[in-house]
Structures are given as structure tokens and as C-alpha cells.
A = this chain, B = another copy of it.
């Protein structure tokens, strides 16, 4: 029996309307079962969907740690509890990322042996499976041991999500040579090369993020967040520039009309709305983080990913990756 998905109805810039609309589409178009979590009076019309009522909301600018401790009846905390208590297969939120992480970590807990959870963000590769960037921002300060675990967890995620059997893993640095980079990177390079279960292929640079020659790119959460936002910002900048050029006059607008049918599929492939969100790895439960400006499409795709990851047994994959000796011995409470 598959469990429903717990959706934070109050998370994101366009909550609750786009969030509820995305849930409705996930039910109608994908056949998923979704529970909206939030204060009924703030959700408004639930579009016929089940509501798990709570009384509080963690706002986008609330302090993550403090708000999770204080707002125990918030939509984020309750969604995490539904997963913890085996009442939902995964939680999805487009809200305060820090508070989403804190809720998931505090309520679900970590998988055995995991030092710290991390954020895995798929980067599009036109024509082939996305590359998983990890850590995309959960941990601003990392040890080499943490980065090795991120590589193991993200490899398991790449396998579950993109069916990559033995994902190639690279370390983000400032040169291909093992001697290049910060002390952390140099130490991590040695450890990654020496860790069984990681298909380590060496260093990559910032220019290798899109398109990427590897399946998983490992970095600390500070560098990963800067790189991800630089990538997103650059793509957005260029698309705006092109739209401005096309809007110059009637002639350029006509040329744009000719190109749009070819440009739009490419742009769609790159849009975060179609990536299905980032995933928290290392936790004893599935948590999908959709971007703050999620529309209904982004939410529907995030729900789809949550359901698929549950069905694919992504938690078991992560368990075995971190504790290969305990394969098959870990009873789970969350599926």
C-alpha cells in the first residue's frame, strides 16, 4: 500500500494558491494521493483535497532553528511528523529552506551513521540524465568525512532517481590536478579516491556544472550554494537578454516567433520548475525541497519526485551506501 504525500500548503512565494493547484494537478494528472498540511483558514479552498489541520506557519524570513522549536504546530513540523509517524511517504515544501531542513532533521532524524544531512540538487544536462550537485547549501562548513558521505548518499540518490547504476562522482575544485584547491578539497580528493563504493573520477571545475561530464558533483554547502545560484542567475540573465533582444522591434519579434517553438523545449528542460526540486539526503525520511517561487507545475513535479523516490526505495539505498555492512538489516519506520 502506498502512503499519501504530505505537502506544506503554506510554503513558497505563491502559497497557498499555487501549492494547492499543484497538489490538485498531482492528484488528477499523476494519480497521487496528497495531504495538504496547514491552517484551514489560511489554505482557503482545498480543492477537494484532504487537509491535515495545524495552527501555525513558519514564514519565509523566520529563523529556521528557533521557529521549528517554537512553532510545534506549524505546517512544516507537522508534515515532517506525518512522515516520521508512517502516515506519509514523503514531505514536500517550497517554504523556508532552513526551517524545512530543521523540521525534517529534528522530526525524522538521521539515517544510522550519517554525520549531517545534505541537499542534493539535480542540474539539467540536455539529452541525458541530470547531474546531482551535493551539498547545495545545507552545511556552510564541512569536513572531508562529511563530503565523502555526501558522495555516497548522492550516488544512491542518482541510482534511485535517474537509474544510473554506478554514478561517476567528481569533486568540485579549481583545477583538475589532485594538488589543486583548498586544504579541505585536497584532503577530500584523497579520501574519495580511497573509498570503496564511490566511482570517483577526479576533480571538475565550475565550467563543468552545465553540461556536466559526471553524474554527481560533490562540494561543501557554501561553495555548492554559490555555484548553484551563479548558474541559476547566469541562465536567467541570458534568457532576459534574449527576450529583450527579441522585443526590440516588429522584425525581431517575428524572428522570435519563429524560434520560440525550438527555444521553449530547451528552456523548459533548464527550468527549475521541471526539475522536481532538491532532496534532503541522509535523513530517515524523504523530504523534497521545491524552490521558493514554485508554481503549480513545480509543486506537481516535486510531489511526483517524492512519490517516485519512495517507490524506488531511496532510503534503503542511502542506508546501504553509508553502512554497506548492514545491508538488509535495517528495519525502516517510514515506508
Q: How large is the interface on A (under 10, 10 to 19, 20 to 34, 35 or more residues)?
A: 35 or more
A138 nearest CB across to chain B (Å)? 10
A234 at the interface (CB under 8 A from B): yes
| Cβ–Cβ contact A245 & B230, under 8 A | no
In the bound complex, residues from chain B placing their C-beta under 8 Å from that of A228 are 206
Per-position 1/0 for A253-291, Cβ under 8 A of B: 011101100110010000000000000000000000000
Question: Cα distance A238–B258 when bound, in Å?
Answer: 18
A178 nearest CB across to chain B (Å)? 13
Task: Kindly name the residue among A219, A231, A266 whose own CB sees the greatest number of chain B CB atoms within 10 A.
Answer: A231
In the bound complex, residues from chain B placing their C-beta under 8 Å from that of A230 are 206-207, 209, 227, 230-231, 234
| Cβ–Cβ contact B181 & A206, under 8 A | no
A85 at the interface (CB under 8 A from B): no
* Given A126-B241, A223-B226, A141 and B183 contact (CB-CB distance below 8 Å): yes
A201 at the interface (CB under 8 A from B): no
Question: Cα distance A141–B186 when bound, in Å?
Answer: 12
A102 nearest CB across to chain B (Å)? 15
Q: Which of B252, B255, B266 contacts A241 (CB 8 A)?
A: B266
Instruction: List 7 A-B pairs, minimum CB-CB distance, nearest first.
Output: A206-B229, A207-B233, A234-B234, A206-B230, A255-B255, A255-B258, A174-B225
Q: Which of A112-160 contact B (CB under 8 A)?
A: 126, 137, 140-141
A108 nearest CB across to chain B (Å)? 24
A-side residues, CB < 8 A to B, are 126, 137, 140-141, 172-174, 180-183, 185, 205-211, 219, 221-223, 225-239, 241-242, 245-246, 248, 251-252, 254-256, 258-259, 262-263, 266
Question: Cα distance A222–B171 when bound, in Å?
Answer: 13
Q: Which of B126, B140, B241, B255 contacts A182 (CB 8 A)?
A: B140
Task: Kindly name the residue among A232, A262, A263 whose own CB sees the greatest number of chain B CB atoms within 10 A.
Answer: A262
| Cβ–Cβ contact B233 & A206, under 8 A | yes
- Residue of chain B at shortest CB distance from A228: B206
A291 nearest CB across to chain B (Å)? 12
- Residue of chain B at shortest CB distance from A206: B229
Q: Which of B209, B233, B252, B259 contacts A262 (CB 8 A)?
A: B252
In the bound complex, residues from chain B placing their C-beta under 8 Å from that of A235 are 234, 238
In the bound complex, residues from chain B placing their C-beta under 8 Å from that of A246 are 259
A293 nearest CB across to chain B (Å)? 12
* Given A222-B223, A254-B258, A258-B251, A140 and B174 contact (CB-CB distance below 8 Å): yes
* Given A182-B140, A252-B259, A237 and B223 contact (CB-CB distance below 8 Å): no
A95 nearest CB across to chain B (Å)? 15
- Residue of chain B at shortest CB distance from A141: B182
Question: Cα distance A242–B266 when bound, in Å?
Answer: 9
| Cβ–Cβ contact A233 & B208, under 8 A | yes
Other than the known A126-B241, A227-B230, A254-B258, what 19 A-B pairs have Cβ atoms closer than 8 Å?
A140-B182, A174-B221, A209-B230, A209-B234, A211-B237, A223-B226, A226-B226, A230-B230, A231-B234, A234-B234, A234-B238, A235-B238, A242-B242, A242-B263, A248-B262, A254-B255, A255-B255, A255-B256, A256-B259
